[in-house]
């Protein structure tokens, strides 16, 4: 709906350090009134006016949001020197999305980081944490608006879900981790390695 109202543009996925972000996340343990006022400042509030929609009911007590938009959908451009993303990998407009049923937009990140969520494009590594809920998996929503639960199968992925969130990310190599590859394909549209 946001893209319909803004000439096909994808909402700004960065809740921090950006103008008109998709959501303004209230601080942990904010009052309901303070949280409501913060959410009202987000670009998607008009379409999702209930603060409860931004958090999984099984999320950590005191947090107001557990969902994040992935970097590939108009989020943080994290590219390192010497890395170039091919056309159609980093999306700013809805018309650029090929195969919307396979492109992840939202992830239930769990312990929400301060910015859009990411995973490496060009290496077999996690960057941000993934969560394990509802039977050791997490939920994703896609550009065609369907949601999908992914149960983790690789023990290394499950190990990552148990770690304490860190602002610097995890950057752990996981060769041949099908969980990681599935997420990378969904986030970036393809593997970059």
Which position has the higher pLDDT, 112 or 48?
Answer: 48
Q: Is 3 helix (H, G, I), strand (E, B) or coil?
A: helix
Query: Which pLDDT tens digit goes with each residue over 35-91?
Result: 899 999 999 999 999 888 888 888 777 778 889 999 999 998 766 666 778 888 999
**Is the confidence at residue 27, as pLDDT, over 70?**
yes
Mean pLDDT of 28-33: 84
Provide DSSP, 23-48. Answer: --PPPTT--HHHHHHHHHTSTTTTT-
Structure tokens at 191: 């593997």
Alpha helices in the chain (DSSP H): 2-5, 32-40, 155-161, 178-188
The whole-model pTM stands at: 0.91
Residues with Cβ within 8 Å of 171's Cβ and at least 6 positions away in sequence, in order, are: 120, 125, 126, 127
Sign of CA dihedral 6, 63, 149, 183: positive
- For the chain, the residue count is 193
Percent of residues, the chain, with pLDDT higher than 90? 53
Rounded to whole angstroms, how far apart are CA atoms 133 and 106?
16
Joined together, the tokens standing for residue 65 give 């949001």
| Torsion of Cα atoms, 131 then 21 then 5 then 34, to 10° | 90
Which pLDDT value is given to residue 81?
A: 67
Residue appearing with tokens 């400042």: 41
168: pLDDT strictly greater than 70: no
Domain boundaries, the chain: 57-193
The pLDDT of residue 167: 62
Structure-token match 């343990």, residue found: 29
| Phi, psi torsion values for 46, nearest 5 degrees | -55, -35
Mean pLDDT across the chain: 88
Average pLDDT over residues 140-151: 96
């Amino acid at each position: 709906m946001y893209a319909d109202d803004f000439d096909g543009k994808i909402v700004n996925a960065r809740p921090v350090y950006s103008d008109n972000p998709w959501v303004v996340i209230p601080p942990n343990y904010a009052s309901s009134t303070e949280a409501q006022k913060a959410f009202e400042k987000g670009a998607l509030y008009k379409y999702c006016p209930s603060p409860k929609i931004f958090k999984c009911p099984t999320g950590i007590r005191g947090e107001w949001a557990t969902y994040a938009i992935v970097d590939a959908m108009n989020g943080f451009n994290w590219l390192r020197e010497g890395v170039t993303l091919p056309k159609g990998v980093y999306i700013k407009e809805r018309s650029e999305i090929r195969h919307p049923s396979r492109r992840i937009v939202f992830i239930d990140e769990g312990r929400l980081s301060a910015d859009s969520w990411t995973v490496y494009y060009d290496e077999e590594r996690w960057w941000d944490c993934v969560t394990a809920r509802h039977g050791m998996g997490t939920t994703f929503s896609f550009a065609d608006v369907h949601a999908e639960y992914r149960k983790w199968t690789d023990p290394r992925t499950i190990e990552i879900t148990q770690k304490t969130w860190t602002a610097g990310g995890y950057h752990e190599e996981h060769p041949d981790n099908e969980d990681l590859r599935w997420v990378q394909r969904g986030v970036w549209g393809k593997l970059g390695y």
